[in-house]
Copies of this chain bind each other. A is one copy, B any other.
Amino acid sequence: MTTFTAINLIKRPTGGPINASLFEVVKKEMPTVEPGQILVKQNYMSLDPAMFGWMSPDTNSYIPPVALGEVMRSSGIGEVIVSNHPDFTVGDRVMGMMGWQEYCLSDGKGLNKVTASLPDQGILSVFALPGLTATQGLFNVGKPKKGETLIVTGAAGSVGSIVGQLAKAEGLRVIGVVGNQEKADWIVNELGFDAAINYKSNDLDAQLAVAAPNGIDLFFENTGGPIQHLIFDRINAHGRVVVCGLIADYDNEVPELSPSWMNIIKRRITIQGFTMPDHFHQVPELLEKLTPYVLAGKIKHRAHVLEGLTSAIEGLNLFSEGENKGKLIVKI
């Protein structure tokens, strides 16, 4: 094989579903591996909501947008097939930012060797961005305390499902907000959440009252959307809101209605946004925190696997449609 497939971003999304016109699928020549470099064959890559941010032009964002004409950014897992680098040998299993392409030439920076015995899909579901994000957001931002009540939106998603399970393991009451009955059943029956609420129901406030009889201490916000305001009204004094993602807003220019600002004062609420690129230097300690829960069997996961590199394009819409069942992964 002398060429491989890659997908470049050529246009920025302007709202509405993601489609093929934003990308070009190109053939690239297999590169020469210079001294200090490795060539990785990527086996699986991760699709993440953060990609909507990476495609957007916002200059004040936490990470520069993907430049037009360049390979779309993503994390993935693969195998070193050529090494001219002293720290890597052929056959090493590595994880890191490899982009939407079949092969990745790298100087090794930002690639980490994978030693855990989970299969590739499990690694991307638990130990990659979602698990790190859940661990950072729950423990370091949210500061959960045993006996508190946590509510997490996008609860069947890659981050939300781990947040809820970690919180359960810590002794919190955990409520998950999801978009359909299948997800509700999964988080309660399989993951052990105390309650699930379908945000498409008509009696949301009554359901919240039943699910959170003692109010809400910690709100892990992954999605945005109208239920946010009902949740805010039930946040207890000294409540914390961890703002991790707002899927519902990604293709929506209309600002959300706010929580009651008076409540922010009266209940001394803290709202904190965070993104993982600020915390990449903490990855070793985050993994150290997360791993015991995984080894103890406390973190179940499921992957929603799409087939083939180009399936990534339309696959992104599964986030805004809420149709992904578990961690979205592309098998290359």
In the complex, residue of chain B having the shortest beta-carbon distance to the beta carbon of A258 = B258
In the complex, residue of chain B having the shortest beta-carbon distance to the beta carbon of A61 = B266
In the complex, residue of chain B having the shortest beta-carbon distance to the beta carbon of A259 = B258
CB distance from A73 to the nearest CB of B (A): 15
CA gap between A264 and B249 in the complex, in Å = 12
**B237/A265 in contact, CB under 8 A:** no
Kindly state whether residue A89 has any CB partner on chain B within 8 Å: no
Which of the segments A92-100, A153-161, A240-248, A282-290 contacts the partner chain? Answer: A240-248
Which of the segments A23-31, A180-188, A273-281, A321-329 contacts the partner chain? Answer: A273-281
CA gap between A58 and B237 in the complex, in Å = 12
In the complex, residue of chain B having the shortest beta-carbon distance to the beta carbon of A250 = B262
**B267/A278 in contact, CB under 8 A:** no
Fill in one digit per residue for A222-238: 1 if any B CB lies within 8 Å of its CB, else 0.
00100000000000110
B residues less than 8 Å from A264 (CB atoms)? 243, 271-273
| Residue in contact with A261 in the complex, picked from B249, B261, B272, CB distance below 8 Å | B249
**B273/A273 in contact, CB under 8 A:** no
**A275/B268 in contact, CB under 8 A:** yes
**B258/A62 in contact, CB under 8 A:** no
In the complex, residue of chain B having the shortest beta-carbon distance to the beta carbon of A221 = B261
CB distance from A287 to the nearest CB of B (A): 22
| Chain A: number of interface residues, binned into ranges | 35 or more
CB distance from A242 to the nearest CB of B (A): 10
**A262/B237 in contact, CB under 8 A:** no
B residues less than 8 Å from A263 (CB atoms)? 60, 273
| Residue in contact with A270 in the complex, picked from B61, B62, B256, B270, CB distance below 8 Å | B270
CA gap between A173 and B271 in the complex, in Å = 25
**B266/A275 in contact, CB under 8 A:** yes
CA gap between A181 and B270 in the complex, in Å = 34
CB distance from A218 to the nearest CB of B (A): 15
**A273/B269 in contact, CB under 8 A:** yes
B residues less than 8 Å from A271 (CB atoms)? 264, 270-272
Q: Which 6 A-B pairs have the closest CB atoms?
A: A258-B258, A264-B273, A271-B271, A265-B273, A270-B272, A61-B266
New A-B pairs, 19, CB < 8 Å, besides A62-B237, A263-B273, A270-B272:
A53-B265, A53-B266, A60-B236, A60-B266, A61-B266, A62-B268, A243-B261, A246-B265, A250-B262, A255-B257, A264-B271, A265-B273, A265-B275, A267-B273, A268-B273, A269-B273, A270-B270, A271-B271, A271-B272
Q: List 26 A-B contacts (CB under 8 A).
A: A58-B266, A60-B236, A60-B237, A60-B263, A62-B237, A62-B265, A62-B266, A62-B267, A243-B264, A245-B265, A246-B261, A246-B262, A249-B261, A255-B258, A256-B258, A258-B258, A264-B271, A264-B272, A265-B274, A265-B275, A266-B273, A266-B275, A268-B278, A269-B272, A269-B273, A271-B272
